[in-house]
Structure 1
């Protein structure tokens, strides 16, 4: 049941969404390079989680590790919610203008 619930939540959201956003937010001239960099960062983070999970489980116990991951995911959600601009209806050609605005003008209200 838990695995089915996980797949139900992961499949429409955190599964494909980072890859979709990643493929659309960069200007054409930088898309391949930026996608390569962010993909490398993603897989490096996956490797770090895989290599440190057992050690962290010994230190924090299993529930502590998952609470830590939950906190990091919540922090990431807050950062993305407030700093990632809405891109619905914005053509790919205008993405560079959207992301070149000062960071303070991106805060949602």
Structure 2
């Protein structure tokens, strides 16, 4: 599996706009090799995790579909900073319990409250 972890710092006044823009990513479900995307909030940070069958599928998505969705939903105007981490793994490093998942960042665990509407599955 190929995993994309995204962290966006979002000001309080932009949370609703970020949420609305995030809903447009439902178009991912038709991308070849896409497995699942889920995400949620931890304070002012939005965390999104995308899972792909392999890096080739992810690369194809980035070349063909990503920019079309990103530009259409105007999500770039809704956050202050973004960081992205890409990795290959056999086992997802997340445990989802009671509508939260845990992110380990800089050696610290953070509980992230899932937003059900952000979940996209193939």
TM-score, length basis structure 2: 0.25
Q: Greater Rg, structure 1 or structure 2?
A: 1
TM-score, length basis structure 1: 0.27
**Bigger helix fraction:** 1
Structure with more relative contact order (C-alpha pairs < 8 Å, separation 6 or more): 2
**Bigger strand fraction:** 2
